[in-house]
């Protein structure tokens, strides 16, 4: 449509709504403006994939179009050749593989290599031709021996020789740092039988003929690939020590392997009518829509989809034996989100093969994975750095975006209320209309966006409150003889810290305040409110330099949660003293996060504990428990870079 000037409605009138939808799905966007070519391309790709989720024929048309483009790419300039070839290799070839369209997949890869690296492609192609001639006799002998062995085993089969693609050889050379002469398994054989039991009989016959290479047997019949591909793969040592790969499959498996989802797509919406392959493809297409819903922009969507298109897979099991397919190097977090979004969001730990493992552990084929969840657990921002699936990355980012915004809005509302009280703004002065007017002036979306900016430290509550006061004064000037609205700062009411502010509130690492300490808050841009002890030297110095960004705080009465405290315990260095100190901390119901020991000589040692407590009363109980140990000389809380004696704390 972008080339012809004919609209979707005209197409529908001439060819029907189905054809119009298909053409629209593969058409580029021409009515919107984008910041860059990358964003425009990502938006086109997003539109195409979402159309494909409704009807897979969209991607079949697009892949056919791209294949034709690659076959005629010599007609365009060198820069466009490289750009289109790279895009084909990174996006369209993996989609073809994901849908099981292997013939198109292989040709797209070879054509891309030819335009990305023309000299390398020509050299490899020439080397392949030479090798084909020199190995013809060996391959003929293997072909004849295999047919005789299968006939002797009463297995009816067709035996076809096949050659690795030029791109497949090139990738193996690059990934394994091999020269062409070192890539031995360039040739292989495909054995096609009538039924699944014959596949295993044929494999047994082949293993009786030539020795198998350990670790090179893969059963994709019992555990099919995510695109529906099924075959037995085995590599055998043939004559003269040449490794030869064999693929053993039925006629139906061969049809699916070559044509994939296009082999028998029924174009029906009823899931019950779909074959297993179609059902898996349908689920993947629907997952694209889920990722789109959780993703802010097209570029991020494209990034997430590229991850899911990566063809290397691992197959792991749930405790009940269900198979879950994940990308290579996937983690338990990816597994959790593959099971259900809520399982991923509440994941706290994972058991891999019955043993607790870190959440960043890379899963391997055959692992049995069990996810441990917590009722108040939430995604960790660090997960984005190691998850491998597009779904997991999109879900984590979506949760962090929405949750942080909600928490920031709530904190911003409290900070604004304090600033409004300081300016003696009455509730009737802070109207929805004035919020809207201020949002327009500040180029913000709405009131919540302004409050979120306050909570994240991007705007100062006092400044926003003054702007509201100015709007109120401008709209309703005082009557003659009436005093002006008070704008002076009144006595400040501290903002209450409840400990439930989440990511909108940070506890300063320099002084680690806990409930019961006198506290003050620093509005850090994009970090929100950072809580310091009132006597923290870093806070005092920074407050003198920029007083506008500091506000008074106080702890709420009904606090929940645990807070970090650094303790220094000076002891006589005797056997078992560390264990007794740790036991004393545990008896006082505190958790130890970190231990560091410094030998001070003269039989004296300083043990630094980082522990968690509920408040100052809990800390005092921990200190008393430690001081009952006879080897303990002194217990100090480290505050603002100095030790405070246990009597003061």
**Residues 6 or more apart whose Cβ sits within 8 Å of residue 427:** none
Report the alpha-carbon distance of residue 591 to residue 614 in Å, rounded: 11
The pair of structure tokens assigned to 631 is 């080897």
d(CA 453, CA 412): 7
Pairwise CA distance, residues 516 & 533, whole Å: 10
Rg (CA), the chain: 34
Least confident of 232-241, 476-485, 519-528: 476-485
Helix axes 166-176, 102-116, angle to 10 degrees: 70
Taking all residues of the chain, what is their mean pLDDT, rounded to a whole number? 79
What's the rounded Cα separation, in Å, for the pair 458 and 444?
Answer: 12
Neighbours of 367 (CB within 10 A): 20
Q: pLDDT above 90 covers what percent of the chain?
A: 22
Active-site pick, 2, 65, 436, 574? 2
Q: Which residues make beta-bridge pairs with 187?
A: 163
Q: Is the pLDDT of residue 622 over 50?
A: yes
DSSP 275: -
Q: Which of 209, 206, 239 is nearest to 140 (CA)?
A: 239
Q: Is residue 247 within 8 Å of 188, Cβ to Cβ?
A: yes
Tell me the per-residue pLDDT of 357-376, one tens digit each, with 9 for 90 and over: 889 899 987 788 999 988 87
- Rounded CA separation 517/534 (Å): 8
Query: DSSP letter at 133?
Result: H
What gap in Å lies between CA 348 and CA 345, rounded to an integer?
9
Eight-state DSSP code of residue 28: P
Assessment of whether the complete model's pTM goes beyond 0.85? no
- Flag the least confident range among 208-217, 242-251, 405-414, 505-514: 405-414
pLDDT of residue 271: 45
The whole-angstrom separation of Cα 633 and Cα 79 is: 75
CB 307 within 8 A of CB 390: yes
Pick from 51, 53, 63: which is nearest to 21 by CA?
51
Domain 563-645 in CATH 3.30.70.260: yes
Q: How far is CA 514 from the centre of its chain?
A: 34
Give the pLDDT confidence score for residue 260 in this predicted structure.
63
Please choose, from the candidates 241, 209, 216, the residue with its C-alpha nearest in 3D space to the C-alpha of residue 143. Answer: 209
For domain 8-122, the CATH superfamily is Hypothetical protein af1432 (1.10.3210.10)
Residue 36 pLDDT more than 60? no
Across the range 206-216, mean pLDDT stands at 88
Q: How confident is the model at residue 488 (pLDDT cuts 50, 70, 90)?
A: very low
Sequence ranges of the domains in the chain = 8-122, 123-260, 391-478+486-560, 563-645
Provide the pLDDT for residue 50. Answer: 61
Q: What percent of the residues of the chain are helix, what percent strand, and what percent coil, each to the nearest 5?
A: 50, 20, 30
121-167 pLDDT, tens digit per residue, is: 999 888 887 776 666 777 788 888 999 999 999 999 999 887 778 88
Most confident of 236-245, 557-566, 574-583: 574-583
Handedness of CA 538, 543, 549, 555 (dihedral sign): positive
Residue with tokens 């009989």: 201
Tokens 């059902």 -> residue: 279
More confident residue, 416 or 258: 416
Nearest C-alpha neighbor of 284 from the set 100, 136, 559: 100
Q: Which two tokens stand for residue 61?
A: 């048309």
Short-list 238, 249, 313, CA closest to 280: 313
| Terminal-to-terminal C-alpha distance of the chain | 75
Distance of CA 90 to the CA centre of its chain: 18
In this predicted structure, what is the pLDDT of residue 33? 43
Q: Look up the CATH superfamily of 123-260.
A: Beta Polymerase, domain 2 (3.30.460.10)
CA-wise closest residue to 407 among 345, 454, 441, 462: 454
What mean pLDDT is predicted for residues 594-616? 88
Cα dihedral 624, 626, 627, 633 in deg (nearest 10): -150
Q: Which of 65-74, 318-327, 398-407 has the lowest mean pLDDT?
A: 398-407
Residue among 646, 629, 620, 635 at smallest CA distance from 580: 629
Euclidean distance between CA atoms 496 and 554, whole angstroms: 5
Least Cα distance to 143 among 151, 131, 153, 133 occurs for 151
Task: Give the best-scoring range by mean pLDDT among 3-17, 248-262, 401-415.
Answer: 3-17
Rounded CA-CA distance 487/485 in Å is 6
2 has catalytic annotation: yes
Residue 581 pLDDT exceeds 90: yes
Task: Report residue 363 as tokens.
Answer: 């899963």
> Which uninterrupted H or E stretch holds 110?
helix 102-116
Tell me how far apart the alpha carbons of residues 74 and 62 are, in angstroms, rounded to a whole number. 20
313 close to 326: Cβ distance less than 8 angstroms: yes
pLDDT of 639-648, one tens digit each?
754 455 444 4
Find the range with the poorest average confidence among 195-204, 286-295, 611-620, 638-647: 638-647
For residues 631 and 577, is the Cβ–Cβ distance under 8 A? yes
* Burial of residue 32, with CB atoms counted within 10 A of its CB: 0-12 exposed, 13-18 middle, 19 or more buried: exposed
Tokens representing 557 are 């009465």
Task: Give the C-alpha separation, 183 to 172, whole Å.
Answer: 8
More confident residue, 56 or 521: 521
**What is the per-residue pLDDT across 267-310, written as a single tens digit (0 to 9) for each?**
344 444 445 555 666 566 666 666 665 555 555 555 555 555 54
Distance from C-alpha of 278 to C-alpha of 261, rounded to nearest angstrom: 6
> pLDDT per residue over 389-441, tens digit each?
878 888 887 777 777 777 778 878 888 887 787 777 777 778 888 888 888 77
pLDDT digits (tens, 9 = 90+) for 441-482: 777 778 888 888 777 666 767 767 777 777 777 665 555 555
* Contact criterion met (CB below 8 Å) for 511 and 536: yes
Would you mind telling me the total number of residues written for the chain in this entry?
A: 649
| Banded model confidence at residue 171, pLDDT cuts 50, 70, 90 | confident
CA atoms within 13 A on the CB side of 337: 27
Mean pLDDT along residues 511-517: 90
Is residue 266 predicted with pLDDT exceeding 60?
no
Q: pLDDT by residue (tens digit) across 73-112?
A: 999 999 999 989 988 888 788 778 777 788 888 899 999 9
The whole-angstrom separation of Cα 23 and Cα 512 is 61
Query: Which of the two residues, 301 and 550, has the higher pLDDT score?
Result: 550
Question: Would you state the pLDDT for residue 107?
Answer: 93
Q: Are 193 and 206 in contact, with CB atoms under 8 Å apart?
A: no
| pLDDT grade for 72, boundaries at 50, 70 and 90 | very high
- 3, 270, 557, 647: the active-site residue: 3
């Amino acid at each position: 449509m972008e080339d012809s000037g004919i609209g979707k409605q005209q197409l529908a009138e001439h060819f029907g709504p189905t054809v119009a939808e298909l053409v629209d799905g593969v058409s580029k966007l021409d009515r919107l403006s984008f910041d860059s070519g990358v964003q425009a391309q990502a938006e086109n790709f997003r539109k195409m994939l979402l159309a494909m989720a409704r009807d897979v024929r969209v991607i079949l048309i697009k892949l056919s179009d791209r294949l034709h483009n690659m076959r005629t790419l010599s007609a365009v300039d060198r820069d466009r050749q490289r750009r289109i070839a790279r895009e084909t290799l990174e996006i369209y070839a993996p989609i073809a593989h994901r849908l099981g369209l292997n013939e198109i997949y292989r040709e797209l890869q070879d054509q891309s290599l030819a335009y990305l690296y023309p000299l390398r492609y020509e050299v490899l192609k020439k080397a392949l031709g030479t090798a084909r001639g020199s190995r013809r006799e060996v391959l003929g002998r293997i072909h004849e021996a295999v047919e005789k062995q299968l006939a002797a085993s009463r297995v009816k089969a067709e035996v076809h020789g096949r050659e690795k693609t030029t791109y497949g050889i090139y990738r193996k050379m690059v990934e394994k740092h091999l020269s062409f002469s070192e890539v031995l398994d360039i040739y292989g054989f495909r054995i096609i039988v009538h039924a699944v039991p014959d596949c295993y009989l044929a494999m047994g016959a082949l293993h009786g003929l030539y020795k198998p290479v350990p670790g090179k047997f893969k059963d994709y019949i019992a555990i099919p690939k995510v695109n529906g591909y099924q075959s037995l793969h085995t590599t055998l040592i043939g004559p003269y020590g040449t490794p030869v790969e064999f693929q053993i499959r039925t006629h139906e498996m061969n049809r699916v392997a070559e044509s994939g989802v296009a082999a028998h797509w029924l174009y029906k919406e009823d899931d019950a009518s779909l074959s297993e392959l179609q059902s898996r493809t349908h689920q993947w297409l629907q997952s694209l829509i889920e990722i789109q819903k959780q993703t802010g922009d097209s570029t991020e969507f494209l990034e997430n989809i590229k991850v899911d298109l990566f063809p290397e897979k691992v197959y792991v099991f749930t405790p009940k034996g269900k198979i879950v397919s994940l990308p290579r190097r996937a983690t338990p977090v990816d597994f959790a989100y593959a099971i259900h979004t809520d399982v991923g969001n509440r994941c706290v730990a994972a058991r891999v093969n019955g043993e607790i493992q870190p959440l960043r552990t890379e899963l391997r084929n055959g692992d049995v994975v069990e996810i441990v969840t917590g009722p108040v657990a939430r995604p960790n921002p660090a997960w984005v750095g190691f998850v491998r699936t597009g779904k997991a990355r999109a879900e984590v980012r979506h949760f962090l975006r929405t949750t942080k915004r909600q928490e920031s809005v709530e904190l911003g509302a409290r900070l604004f209320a304090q600033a409004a009280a300081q300016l003696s703004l009455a509730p009737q002065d802070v109207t929805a209309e004035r919020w809207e007017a201020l949002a327009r002036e500040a180029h913000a979306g709405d009131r919540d966006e302004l409050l979120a900016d306050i909570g994240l430290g991007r705007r100062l509550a006092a400044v926003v409150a003054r702007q509201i006061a100015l709007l109120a004064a401008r709209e309703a000037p005082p009557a003659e003889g009436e005093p002006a609205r008070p704008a002076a700062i009144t006595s400040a009411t501290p903002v209450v810290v409840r400990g439930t502010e989440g990511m909108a509130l940070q506890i300063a690492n320099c002084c680690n305040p806990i409930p019961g300490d006198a506290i003050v808050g620093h509005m850090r841009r994009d970090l929100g409110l950072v809580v310091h002890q009132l006597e923290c030297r870093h806070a005092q110095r920074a407050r003198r330099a920029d007083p506008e960004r500091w506000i008074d705080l106080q702890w709420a009465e009904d606090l929940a949660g645990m807070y970090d405290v650094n303790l220094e315990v000076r002891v006589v260095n005797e056997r078992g003293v560390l264990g007794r100190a740790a036991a004393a901390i545990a008896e006082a119901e505190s958790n130890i996060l970190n231990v560091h020991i410094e030998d001070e000589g003269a039989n004296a040692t300083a043990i630094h504990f980082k522990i968690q407590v509920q408040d100052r009363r809990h800390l005092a109980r921990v200190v008393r428990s430690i001081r009952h140990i006879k080897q303990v000389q002194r217990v100090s809380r480290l505050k603002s870079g100095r030790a405070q004696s246990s009597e003061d704390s």
